[in-house]
Amino acid sequence: MSIRYDGKVAIVTGSGGGLGRCHAIELAKRGAKVVINDLGGGVDGSGGSSEAARSVVAEIEALGGEAIANGANVAKYGEVEAMVKQAMDKWGRVDILVNNAGILRDKSFTKGTLEDFRLVLDVHLMGSVNCTKACWDIMRDQAYGRIVVTTSSSGLYGNFGQSNYGSAKMGVIGLMNTLSQEGAKYNIRINALAPTAATRMTEGLIPAEALALLTPETVTPAVLYMVSEDAPTRTIIAAGAGSFAVARIVESVGKWLPPQEQTPEGIAANWEAIASTVGENQPQAGFEQTVKMTGHAMAGLGLNK
Ligand code: NAI
């Protein structure tokens, strides 16, 4: 059975170029009506024109699909609300939101400014929050919503010179973790993409022979899967050059220390057991940690007999 989006309305932010353009075109090819949002600025977020968005709309129309252009800055809630209204006025629903828009202001932490840090957080993290907030009640009322946030290996694992970007990209994982719980009963599923692709964002960073393999087309299938009817929820899919993997946040089983060892010296002495990867798991909600730790303590203190 092929996966299709007939009758579904999708918003893809930052889809005037790069990965977003590819996500939007593939969604449209499979039947979705798509809002092509793009501020049309430089890779550092400067400037702006809706020309890029309009040209992707023209590409989709040439393929027989339906799309509209929107020039909202995702960091500005008023503009985002107007974008969602534009989709509602035209098509009456919003089923899919792909938070893809992003910028870079790379600098080592020593050299970077707080202004750049805030701007990067504003576009990636608050941009995702704004767009998700503006669609949330619509998706809840429809009892259907599929949301993707775009994280990065830089957020998950760190990257020299990207403390602002990495913080923002890990922030969207926090958003996903909670919203997947809050959205579950409304059939709203939310997942994250950790892409690696040759776009203007990675120009100059990757050697030419690898660039040829890292096309946006090799990444987009992960987004298509994560916004399908049978999508998972709360999943981070890493995708690039045709490989797909799942990233997880895990916690070691840990070790309860008796009161006299609940000291920094006690931690040092038990470090191997505390940090052991044997039996580590992926908690599904924060409270699992509390339950585990009180369980260990009760057992250690002999209180659960
Ligand atoms: P890109 O620079 O080609 O595309 C980003 C698009 O977002 C641009 O068209 C830009 O005009 C738009 N945009 C920027 N700020 C905006 C705003 N405030 N409002 C609306 N639109 C805005 O970059 P690329 O590579 O396609 O990146 C897409 C997403 O994937 C970004 O979130 C990026 O951080 C992420 N990513 C990309 C990786 C890669 O290897 N290319 C690696 C990891 C993450």
For 121-176, write each residue's pLDDT tens digit: 999 999 999 999 999 999 999 999 999 999 999 999 999 999 999 999 999 999 99
Mean per-residue pLDDT, 225-254: 98
Q: How far apart are CA 202 and CA 70, in angstroms?
A: 25
Q: Is 165 annotated in the active site?
A: yes
The average pLDDT across 112-116 equals 98
Q: Does 130 contact ligand 1 (Cβ within 6 A)? A: no
Look up the CATH number of domain 9-247.
3.40.50.720
Residue 45 has pLDDT above 90, yes or no: no
18 lines ligand 1 (CB under 6 A): yes
> Quick one: what percent of the chain has pLDDT higher than 70?
99
Give the model's confidence band at 238: pLDDT under 50 very low, under 70 low, under 90 confident, else very high.
Answer: very high
User: What would the pLDDT profile of 206-218 be if each residue is shown by its tens digit?
Assistant: 888 888 999 999 9
Q: What residue's CA is closest to ligand 1, atom 15?
A: 102
With a 6 Å cutoff on the Cβ, whether 215 touches ligand 1 is: no
Q: What is the pLDDT of residue 40?
A: 85
Mean pLDDT calculated for residue range 40-54: 78
- The pick from 25, 26, 38 for probing ligand 1's pocket by mutation, whose C-beta has the most ligand atoms within 8 angstroms, reads 38
Establish whether residue 148 lines the binding site of ligand 1, counting it when its CB lies within 6 angstroms of any ligand atom.
no
Sheet of strand 33-37: strand arrangement: 66-70, 33-37, 9-12, 96-99, 145-150, 188-195, 236-240, 243-247
User: Which residue type, as a one-letter code, is found at position 301?
Assistant: L
For ligand 1, pick from 165, 201, 213 the residue to mutate: most ligand atoms within 8 Å of CB.
201
pLDDT for 176 equals 98
Task: Judge if the beta carbon of residue 38 lies within 6 A of ligand 1.
Answer: yes
Mean pLDDT across 248-263:
98
Domain segments of the chain as ranges: 9-247, 259-300
Out of 25, 39, 170, 203, mutate this one to test ligand 1's pocket (max ligand atoms within 8 Å of CB): namely: 39
pLDDT at 287: 95
Give the pLDDT band (50/70/90) at residue 44.
confident
For residue 155, give the nearest of 42, 41, 247 by alpha carbon.
247
Which candidate in 144, 165, 186, 225 is catalytic?
165
Question: Between β-strands 145-150 and 96-99, what pairing exists: parallel, antiparallel or unpaired?
Answer: parallel
Ligand 1 and 17: CB distance under 6 A: yes
